[in-house]
Amino acid sequence: MPLVFEEVKLECGYRIDLLVENKPVIELKSVESLNDVHLAQTLTYIKLGNFKLELLIKFNVALLKQGIRRVINGELG
């Protein structure tokens, strides 16, 4: 995702893990636990891309459904 600031476009902005049809963003993590840094990264992608939904998926869990967090309009769900 390029970073645009005062009409200057930088191609080396942010790297989204998965973007599906320019709608939901999917951020993949393989960490012991999710923390505030991961949520901040997710919120940055939502704000910069003007997206409504992002899925934050952590793979270090027994069942995948335990590692899925939805972030909608800046709220963790």
Measured distance CA(62)–CA(65) in Å, rounded: 9
Enumerate residue ranges in the chain where pLDDT < 50.
76-77
Measured distance CA(14)–CA(41) in Å, rounded: 10
Residue type at 56 in one-letter notation: L
Domain boundaries, the chain: 16-76
The pLDDT score that the predictor gives to residue 63 is 92
The pLDDT score that the predictor gives to residue 10 is 65
In the block, residue with structure tokens 């995948």: 64
In the block, residue with structure tokens 């027994």: 62
The pLDDT score that the predictor gives to residue 77 is 47
Determine how β-strand 3-5 pairs with β-strand 75-76: unpaired
Q: Is the pTM of this model over 0.75?
A: no
